[in-house]
Amino acid sequence: MSARNQTSTQSKFSVKHFSTYNFNPNSLSDSLSTPGGITILVYTSIPHSIVPITSTLQVQAVRRSLNYTLTICNIHVPSSSVLNEQSLTSLLQQLPPPFILMFDFNAHHPLWGSSKLNLRGQVVENVLLHNNTSILNSKHSTYIHPATGSLSNIDLTLCSASIAIDFSWNLQSDTYGSDHFPISTNKPTSCQYLQYWKINKADWPKFSQSCEHSIDNNISTIEQFSDTLVTIAKKTIPKTGISLHKIKNPWFTDRCKKARKLRQKALRTLKAHPTSTNIEQFRITRTSCRRIMRQSQHSSWRSYVSKINSNTPSRRIWNMLHKIQGKNTRQPVKHLKVNNSIITDTKEIADTLGSTISYNSSSRHYSTNFLPHKTAAIISQSSSRLISLHHLHIYNSLLENQ
């Protein structure tokens, strides 16, 4: 999942294979735009549902189920807006626990590493004390001011106290062209990636020789046999790796990689020495990096278009257009609502769907006039099968007697 802030200018923002939930504080009829806007992205294969929230804040919440059910809430409060303890407490009470709350409150407090304390910081502290809520932030700065190069801690991550020790809060070292450093909240998992035997690369002569030498009459149980065979296989048959391979962007060239390294270097220099010269150098490298990446994207697109001709399959063209537009090609898996009750567990969702399909296709939905015809058809079909089996038995008997 991913959460973004200040997306009011991207009301149709979307990413392929992700369900996109946008909150835009502005409408076409507004003469003055309100800063902010938020977006939550959920991978389409993850069962999830929208959590309805009544609040004066810019807020979007989604409840998702993976190995467990968790509510994700994203908030943005512009610096010009008023934040009070009542509105934030009311929001927390509407979130189904456990939850993770991410927001840019422009709140300062020494509790999360700020060098000063303001009114918003005091509001957040009171909410933490009175609502059984914890803060995941370390004391690393999350925002770099584009004009002065000063660092501050204004992006906060709160969570239910019951899951506070289950998650780790990490800050990326690169801003990726933004003013904010990306934040990742992870839960350690013991998930084991499956490895497969590379049968086509096995050393079969050595495998056979090891089996003849190691497998003998001393092996008396199936467990001993299996353990011995697996031990031999590990020595003679390689396995696939467990590392995850990232999908590479076709437009991300060596020139883009070099520009990104220069931007990261300028950012590190600015964080260590926030002088006017370093601020200006960071702006230049960031602008240059953006320009180079956009040029690379355009060049990649032109190169692709130049290869399209009358023989190009239409499916290939549409797939590329969907990638460019960020459209989802797969339908998202949603939570089920049955009798005003939300089903969030993946197994319960599958069982409910199976039971519903079974019920809908059962004979209980057929009319009394149709049921005799169905019964007669089933009997006739069964009789035909019995006759066919009888003929097959006779035929086999004749063959045996020849």
pLDDT, tens digit (0-9, with 9 covering 90-100), for 136-181: 998 888 888 888 888 888 889 999 999 988 888 888 888 888 888 8
Q: CA-CA distance, 18 to 23, in Å (whole number)?
A: 16
Final residue before a domain boundary, out of 272, 306, 330: 330
**Residue at a domain's end among 312, 330, 348:** 330
Which range has the worst mean pLDDT, 56-65, 172-181, 254-263, 267-276? 172-181
CB contact at 8 A, 152 and 145: yes
* Residue 61 banded pLDDT, cuts 50, 70, 90: very high
pTM of the model: 0.57
CA torsion sign, 208 to 213 to 214 to 215? positive
In the prediction, which pLDDT does 125 show? 92
Q: What pLDDT score does 365 carry?
A: 74
Give the whole-angstrom CA distance, residue 226 versus residue 213: 15
Supply the range of the domain harboring residue 278.
252-330
- pLDDT for 89: 92
* pLDDT at residue 241, as a whole number: 74
pLDDT score recorded for residue 24:
75
Indicate whether 380 belongs to any domain. yes
Whether 71 shows a pLDDT value over 50: the answer reads yes
Asked whether residue 340 falls in the same domain as residue 326, the answer is no
Q: Examine the fold and report which residue of 291, 307, 330 is the final residue of a domain before the chain moves on.
A: 330
Mean pLDDT across 182-195: 70
Distance CA 152, CA 344 (A): 38
CA–chain centroid gap for 1, Å, is: 4
What share of the chain has pLDDT > 90, as a percent?
17
Please indicate, yes or no, whether residues 375 and 276 belong to a single structural domain of this protein: no
- Residue 49 is assigned to a structural domain of this protein: yes
Residue 95, pLDDT > 90, answer: yes
Tell me whether residue 243 is in a domain.
no
Q: Answer yes or no: do 149 and 24 share one domain.
A: yes
217 with 355, same domain: the answer is no
Q: Cα dist. 234→101, 247, 254, 263 in Å?
A: 46, 30, 39, 46
Cα angle 356, 357, 362 (rounded to 5 degrees) comes to 100
Element (H, E) at 5: strand 2-5
10-19, 45-54, 269-278, 285-294, range with the lowest pLDDT: 10-19
Reported confidence tier of residue 14, pLDDT bands at 50, 70, 90 = low
Q: Is residue 226 part of a domain?
A: yes
Could you tell me if 348 and 325 lie in one domain?
A: no
When divided into structural domains, the chain yields a total of 4
- Rounded to the nearest integer, the mean pLDDT of the chain is 80
**How many residues are recorded in the chain?**
402
Q: Using CA of residue 105, residue 109, residue 114, residue 116, what is the dihedral sign? A: positive
Is residue 107 located within the same domain as residue 33? yes
| Helix residue ranges, H only, 249-343 | 254-272, 276-306, 314-325
Please check whether residues 281 and 394 belong to one and the same domain. no
- SS3 assignment, position 275: coil
**From CA 36, how far away is CA 7, in angstroms rounded?**
6
CB atoms under 10 Å from CB of 384, counted, come to 10
Give the pLDDT score at 292: 93
Q: Which helix (H) or strand (E) holds 76?
A: strand 69-76
Same domain flag for 260 and 292: yes
- For the cut 50, the answer to whether the pLDDT of residue 185 exceeds it is yes
Q: What is the pLDDT of residue 107?
A: 87
CB 109 within 8 A of CB 121: yes
Tokens 């007669």 locate to 376
Distance CA(149)–CA(53), nearest Å, equals 36
Residue 10 reports pLDDT greater than 60? no
Q: Indicate whether 217 and 342 sit together in one domain.
A: no
pLDDT at residue 160, as a whole number: 92
Q: Indicate if the pLDDT at residue 209 is higher than 80.
A: yes
Residues 158 and 278 in one domain: no
Residue of 257, 331, 261, 256 whose CA lies nearest to 292: 256
Tell me which residue has tokens 């809520």: 133
If DSSP codes are grouped into helix, strand and coil, which group holds residue 287?
helix
Query: How far is 263 from 284, CA to CA, in rounded Å?
Result: 9
User: Is 172 in the same domain as 36?
Assistant: yes
**Residue 246 is assigned to a structural domain of this protein:** no
What was the pLDDT predicted at 191?
Answer: 47
Same domain membership, residue 159 and residue 71: yes
Report yes or no on 245 lying in a domain. no
In tens, the pLDDT along 345-396 reads: 778 888 888 888 888 877 777 778 887 887 777 777 766 655 555 555 554 5
Is a pLDDT exceeding 70 seen at residue 324? no
Is the residue at 306 inside a domain?
Answer: yes
pLDDT tens per residue across span 340-353: 888 877 788 888 88
- For residue 244, being part of any structural domain is answered with no
Q: What is the rounded distance in angstroms from the CA atom of residue 266 to the CA atom of residue 341?
A: 53
